[in-house]
Amino acid sequence: MGFSTGPPPKRTGAAIDGGGNCTACHRTYAPANSDPLGSVRIDVSNYTPGVKQTIKVTVSHPQAQRWGFQLTARLVSDESKIAGNFTPNDVARVICDDGSPRGSLAPCPTGQPEFAEHFNAPRTDAGAGFTFSIDWTPPANDAGDIVFYAAGNAANGDGTFNGDRIYTTVRRISPPCTLTQKPAVKGALNGASFQAPWNVGAMMSVFGSNFATAGNTRLVTRGDIVGNRFPQSLGCIAVAINGQNAPITYVQQDQINLQAPALAGLGSASVVVIANPGAANELRSDPITITTQQALAPAIFTFNGTSIAATSADGSKIVADSSVVPGGVAAKPGDIIVFYATGFGPTNPAFAPGDIPLAAAQVTAAVAITVGGVMVPSPDILYAGVSPQSICGLYQVNMKLPATLPDGDASIVLNVGGTVAAGKTTVPIKN
C-alpha cells in the first residue's frame, strides 16, 4: 500500500536524480511543500574531512502521526557523485542508487550514490513530529562544499498514500578553515613563464609555505564558481595584492595559482597570503613587494619550461615531444595549432579578473609571431584572445604554422603590443 519500510531511491527532490520526491505516490497535497504548516529540516555542521558526525532530519506537521524521510549527500562540484557515507542504525537504513541495501561496512557498488531513509516508519501522537538521526562520515580529504537533499513524509497513518504531506529541503555545508600555521611568501611570478614580468589580469603563481596542510591540494571545481566568476578564496586561502583579493584557481602547500586583480597604475605591489580568511583564526603572511608589473606581460604556457602547451586545431591531439608528454605528437608544417598564454592585456569585449568568458573575445593589442625564424603572416594568426569557458586571464592563440619549417624544435617568438613574451618556447616539428 505504501513504503513504510522505506521508499525507492531518488526521492529527495535532487535535480541530478530527476527531481522526483514522494509526491509521486503521496499526491493528496502535491506538489511538495504545499501545506505551510509542516516542514522537513536537516541539522548538520560544517564538516572536518574524515570525521564522523550525526545528522538529524526532523519532519513535522500538527496533524500527522507517522513519519518517513530520505536523505542523500552529494559533492557540489559534481552532484552525480557521492559525498561521504551513511551508517545504518536501528531507525534508518541505507540503500544504493540501484535500490540495493547497503550493509554497515560495505560501500555501494562502483561508488553509487547512497540514500539514508526510514525502514519502519515510526508512529507518534498527532503533531509530535519525529527526528531521525544517522551517522555520516564525510570524504577523507577536503572535497569542497557538500549539499544534502532530503524529503520528509508527514503521514496521517491510515496505511494508504492518501492524506499525507510531503516536504523537501536542501542544506549546503563547507569544510571549516582550521589552518594553524602562518603562511610565508617567498615570491610571486608570471604563471606561464615563471619569470618576473606580470600585469593586471595575468595568471600568476605565488610560492612559499603553509598554504595548505601537507599533501592536500585544492583545485577549483564547478561548485566554487558563483555568478560565473572564480572564487577569491579557495581551500581556506586568499591572496591580497595591494589589498585586493585575487581570483584563485589552485592551492597546494607551497604554491597558489591566481589571476592578478585590477590595480591602478604600474610599479610595485604588495602580496599577502591569508589563511582562514575572515575567520577568528585568520593568519596573514608578512607582505612581500613585487616590482615587475607591466602594461603587458605576455608569456606562453609550456609542458616542461620550453615545450609549448598546445593541441591540434580540433583538440584531439597534444602537440608535444612524446618524451615530454606521453602520447604527444609533433606538428607538421602548415598545421593549425592552438596554444595557451597569459598577460595579453585587454580584450574586446572586456572582462574583470575572475570572469569566465562564454564566447571568444579578441585581444586589443597587435599580435605578431615568428616560428623557427619565419614570420607568421597576420591572416595565419586565426585568433588571439580569451579561451572561452576558462578564467579570463587564460588566452589562446590559434595559428597556422609556416609551410617551410624543417624537422626539430622550432623556437616561437611571441610579440604582443610591442612586448616580447618572456622565456624560451619551442614547438616540435616533423615533416
What's the Cα-to-Cα distance from 214 to each of 140, 209, 235, 238, 365, rounded to whole Å? 14, 10, 13, 18, 42
- Same-domain status, 19 and 106: yes
User: In which domain, by residue range, is 253 found?
Assistant: 184-293
Q: Residue 341's closest CA among 380, 398, 271, 264?
A: 398
Helices (H) and strands (E) in the chain, counts: 0, 33
Report if residue 255 sits inside a domain: yes
- Same-domain status, 314 and 422: yes
What's the Cα-to-Cα distance from 356 to each of 33, 164, 296, 320, 351, rounded to whole Å? 36, 45, 20, 27, 8
Report if residue 156 sits inside a domain: yes
- Same-domain status, 168 and 192: no
- Same-domain status, 342 and 243: no
Q: pLDDT by residue for the chain (431 residues), tens digit each?
A: 456 788 999 999 999 999 999 998 999 999 999 999 999 999 998 898 999 999 999 999 999 999 999 999 999 888 999 999 999 999 999 999 998 888 756 778 877 899 999 999 999 999 999 999 999 999 998 888 899 999 999 999 998 889 999 999 999 888 888 899 999 999 999 999 999 999 999 999 999 999 998 888 889 887 788 889 999 999 899 999 999 999 999 999 999 999 999 998 788 899 999 999 998 999 999 999 998 889 999 999 999 999 999 999 999 999 998 999 999 999 999 999 999 999 999 999 999 999 999 999 999 999 999 999 999 999 999 999 999 999 999 999 999 999 999 999 999 999 999 999 999 999 999 99
Q: Residue 301's closest CA among 222, 190, 166?
A: 190
pLDDT for 104: 59
Report if residue 285 sits inside a domain: yes
Question: Residue written as cell 536542501?
Answer: 170
List residues bridging with 57 in a β-sheet.
42, 132
Exposure b/e, 212-224, CB count within 10 A at least 16 = b? bbeeeebebeebb
The grid coordinates of residue 25 equal: 505516490
- Same-domain status, 38 and 84: yes
- Same-domain status, 53 and 165: yes
- Same-domain status, 189 and 333: no
Domain count, the chain: 3
Domain boundary among 141, 173, 205: 173
pTM of the model: 0.74
In angstroms, how far is CA 287 from the centroid of its own chain?
28
- Distance between terminal CA atoms of the chain? 73
Domain boundary among 151, 173, 195: 173
Report if residue 35 sits inside a domain: yes
- Same-domain status, 129 and 263: no
pLDDT for 1: 46
Domain boundary among 129, 147, 173: 173
Question: Residue written as cell 616580447?
Answer: 420
- Same-domain status, 413 and 345: yes
d(CA 308, CA 431): 18
- Same-domain status, 133 and 163: yes
List residues bridging with 151 in a β-sheet.
70, 168
DSSP letter (8 states) at residue 30 = T
